Amino acid sequence: MTSAPYLEPFDQMRIWLSDAEKSEINDPNAMALSTVNERGAPSIRMVLLKGFDENGVVFYTNFESRKGRNLLANSNAAVLFHWKTLRRQIRVEGTVEVVSNAEADEYFASRPRTSRIGAWASKQSRPMEGRFEFEAAIAHYTKKFGTGEIPRPDFWSGFRLKPNYFEFWRDRKFRLHERKTFKLDDDNKNWTCEEIYP
């Protein structure tokens, strides 16, 4: 059961993300995001990773959505990647902070025009009378913005999950899998690495 040695967690995650880009048929950057509400009840949904470096894991969303409201009230969060083609999983846990306006603006501006209009038109996670209501809102904002600039809505931005824990899971035969964990030390600088039972 030999395996390649692990690097520091950020480098290791970069390598696995790039392996996934080569092997997954779509959305290699899709991750399950777990949040908790004010009563401590968890909820989970997929989001797309839109930035990753030593500062953390970035994703974008509607701040008035369920996840947005959860995260603004309680910054604890976790994300999970699972790549079926690679038989690998990464867990990342930590706390989120809101990305800067400049960063959110830059990412928003890079999105296709229709996606930007969609961000204005969708009252994400809130009840909808029917699809017609959404389509009317899309038509409204399409007309409103015409061919001009589409600013980023105040309620739409990104979060950066600052990791304090990583776990890399690799499939091994007979369910004798490999798990390598990295915990951030109290100094907030060094990582303690441990192997744990599958």
Q: Is there binding between residue 34 and ligand FMN (CB under 6 A)?
A: no
Q: Is there binding between residue 157 and ligand FMN (CB under 6 A)?
A: no
Closest distance of CB 62 from ligand FMN, Å: 6
User: Residue 108 contacts by C-beta under 8 Å, 6 or more apart in sequence?
Assistant: 60, 116, 119, 152, 156
Query: Look-up: residue for tokens 């309680």?
Result: 74
Closest distance of CB 12 from ligand FMN, Å: 23
Task: Encode 121-142: b = buried (16+ Cβ within 10 Å), e = exposed.
Answer: bbebeeeeeeeeeeeebbeebe
**175 flagged as catalytic:** yes
Closest distance of CB 142 from ligand FMN, Å: 21
Q: CB-side exposure of 106: number of CA atoms within 13 Å?
A: 7
Looking only at residues 3 through 32 of this chain, which bind ligand FMN when binding is defined by CB under 6 A?
Answer: 27, 30
Q: What does the binding site for ligand FMN look like in residue numbers (CB under 6 A)?
A: 27, 30, 43, 45-48, 59-62, 65-67, 124-125
Q: Catalytic residue positions?
A: 175
